[in-house]
Chain A
Amino acid sequence: MQIYLPIAELPISVLTVLGLSGAVGFISGLFGVGGGFLLTPLLIFLDIPPAVAVATVAAQVAGSSMTGVLTYLRRKALDLKLGGVLVTGGIVGTVLGVLFFNAMRRLGQLELVITLSYVTLFSIIGGLMLYDALRAMLRVRAGKPARLKRRGGMHPWWMGLPFRQRFYRSGLYCSVLPIALLAIVIGFIGAVLGVGGGFILVPGLIYFFRIPPAVVVGTSLFQILVTMTGATVLHAVTNQSVDIVLAVLLLLGGVIGAQFGGRAARNLNVESFRLLLALLILSVGLRFAIELFIPPNEPFSVVVPESAR
């Protein structure tokens, strides 16, 4: 069954979109990432104009993270105070990112910047996570505890900076500064790459601040919900590229997939959780690396500049 998308201006198979968004929704619910970094390239692969893909995925991510936020809120696995700090930092980072985005577009190298950042970011983050997850697994095999236990008085130095706050839900007593810095970096990257940034936020909170994964996922979803709600309205006002029909289709698949993903997450132990997330991120990085390093079959490409649409 085909349906015509009014903004993307092409017909698309309803079943294909539902299947794709369902699968991405499952991953999103499982890992607490928005799923934008998977969905956007997939939609572009289906010939949907990149601007429409980025803007519409923002709406989809907002909707599906809403489901997640409500679920984690009920399970009391959401730190609203931490979320507030993240959102504030994220807004600052987003503004900086949009400025950088426009500067690169003026220079005509935006596409290269995006591909290169995907490759480096995903390879580094995915690689580090994979290394760490494998090491933890080996420790378990050897009969040692999976990771060094967090002990009172043993904090990384950045947690002891000024403006220390107590985050009860996360079991964290830490300076606001490094958390805000992380949020600014994520907002910046998110604005440039058109992704929510959950895939950086989740490992960031786990590794740098040792927050329990269960709380991290809920809090990350909260931050994504706020950012993507703003991003959708911003896209609709500035470039009119939000496709409401596509958004509804993506949501239908996404929210259902996210439910199953969220349930699967409860049955997953921390070590395999980290290993799977690492592999997922690494494979997206590889996919972009192939594009960059393999000689293309068709070196030419035709684009209709967005301003001319």
Chain B
Amino acid sequence: MKRLLVLLALLAAGLCPAGARAEALIAAMSSHQIQITSNYTGSQLTVFGLVERDGRTVARGDPYDIIITVRGPRRMLLVREKERLGPIWINRTQRRFPDNPVFLLVASNRPISEMMSLETAQRDRIGLANAERPSGSWVDLDPSSRRFRESLVRIMQAKDLYGYAERGVTFLSNALFSAPVEIPATAPTGSYTVDIVLYSGGVPLARQQTNFEVIKTGIEQRLASGAYDWALLYGLATVLLALFLGWGASVIFRRD
């Protein structure tokens, strides 16, 4: 609660008497760094935001809608499909998704389908299925490409690395909102971007971007960097430790 108050004070201090006619978005993260220690089992962050408006901002007939998209580090992903070849099932076709985020979370204050049309969502890359859609509509002409992309999203959702929280954003007042961001332990290390977009009546009004990072610290970080920087030494140390434990067991359990 105290943290929230501090944030609110910060947000209030950020209000400036600009001559803006449209709304502006101010956003903050409860933390910009997640540290992985040996008892790490995932973490939770909170995105706070404020829809800033002044006397000259036009009155809106529709309520404010917020959509938050969290994207993790990008890697090349391979999606493979098993097909029947004679009596056996083997991976026959595969499709590469270069530069695809390994973590993707979309949160909104109400279902996206209630906020905007399907076309708008596709154009603005809103929602789990659209967030990584390449720009242009030609992609939809290739049904197999769509099948692979849909499978990618489905499988990543099953692994808890992709997710959509249709009521993950809560309005604390007319203008102040917050959203929890669950980072599972399997989410990769690296930098994450958080995109926040304000909609009203299906029209984007303002957007804001912030970020955070997931890093290993302490012994976890030292072991991981040791494995890369001192590969031979690390390998020898591991094997010696293994042999020592093996020898130790034979001494402890020796009966004769």
A residues at B contact (CB < 8 Å): 2-4, 6-7, 9-11, 47, 59-60, 62-67, 70-71, 74, 108, 111-112, 229, 232-237, 240, 242, 244-245, 247-248, 251-252, 255-256, 258-259, 292-296, 298-305, 308-309
Which of B75, B188, B247 is the one whose CB lies under 8 Å from A70? Answer: B247
Q: Tell me if A7 and B249 are in contact (CB < 8 A).
A: no
CA separation between A47 and B158, bound complex, in Å? 13
A-B contact sample (18 more), CB < 8 A, given A111-B91, A244-B241, A256-B249: A4-B40, A6-B224, A11-B41, A11-B185, A59-B239, A59-B242, A60-B242, A233-B236, A242-B238, A251-B245, A251-B246, A259-B249, A293-B87, A300-B80, A300-B154, A300-B155, A302-B78, A302-B151
Q: Tell me if B189 and A292 are in contact (CB < 8 A).
A: no
A233 CB contacts on chain B under 8 angstroms = 232, 235-236, 239
A302 CB contacts on chain B under 8 angstroms = 77-80, 151-152, 155-156
A255 CB contacts on chain B under 8 angstroms = 245-246, 248-249
Which of A3, A236, A300 is the one whose CB lies under 8 Å from B79? Answer: A300
CA separation between A108 and B90, bound complex, in Å? 12
- Interchain residue pairs A-B with the least CB separation, the first 10: A236-B235, A66-B246, A63-B242, A255-B249, A300-B151, A63-B246, A233-B235, A70-B250, A67-B246, A299-B82
Mark interface residues in B216-245 (1 if CB within 8 Å of A CB, else 0).
Answer: 100111011001100110111111011101
Q: Which stretch from B8-16, B31-39, B112-120 is at the chain A interface?
A: B31-39
Mark interface residues in B136-177 (1 if CB within 8 Å of A CB, else 0).
Answer: 000000000000100110111000000000000000000000
Mark interface residues in B12-54 (1 if CB within 8 Å of A CB, else 0).
Answer: 0000000000000000000000001111111000000000000
A296 CB contacts on chain B under 8 angstroms = 82, 89
CA separation between A3 and B234, bound complex, in Å? 20
Is the CB of B6 closer than 8 A to any CB of chain A? no
Least Cβ–Cβ distance between A112 and chain B, in angstroms:
5
Q: Tell me how many residues of B have a C-beta within 8 Å of chain A.
A: 62
B231 CB contacts on chain A under 8 angstroms = 236-237, 240
CA separation between A10 and B238, bound complex, in Å? 19
CA separation between A271 and B248, bound complex, in Å? 32
Which of A9, A11, A111, A259 is the one whose CB lies under 8 Å from B253? Answer: A259
Q: Tell me if B155 and A6 are in contact (CB < 8 A).
A: no
Q: Tell me if A62 and B82 are in contact (CB < 8 A).
A: no
Q: What would be 13 A-B contacts, judged by CB atoms less than 8 Å apart?
A: A6-B223, A7-B227, A62-B242, A111-B91, A232-B239, A236-B227, A240-B234, A242-B234, A247-B241, A251-B242, A300-B148, A304-B102, A305-B76
Q: Tell me if B232 and A292 are in contact (CB < 8 A).
A: no
Given A67-B250, A237-B235, A301 and B80 touching (CB < 8 A)?
Answer: yes
A304 CB contacts on chain B under 8 angstroms = 75-78, 102
Q: Tell me if A301 and B155 are in contact (CB < 8 A).
A: yes
CA separation between A255 and B244, bound complex, in Å? 11
CA separation between A88 and B155, bound complex, in Å? 45
Q: Tell me if A252 and B243 are in contact (CB < 8 A).
A: no
A242 CB contacts on chain B under 8 angstroms = 227, 234-235, 238
CA separation between A94 and B38, bound complex, in Å? 36
Given A6-B224, A298-B155, A304-B102, A66 and B242 touching (CB < 8 A)?
Answer: yes
Mark interface residues in B83-119 (1 if CB within 8 Å of A CB, else 0).
Answer: 1100111110010000000100000000000000000
Which of B42, B235, B241 is the one whose CB lies under 8 Å from A248? Answer: B241
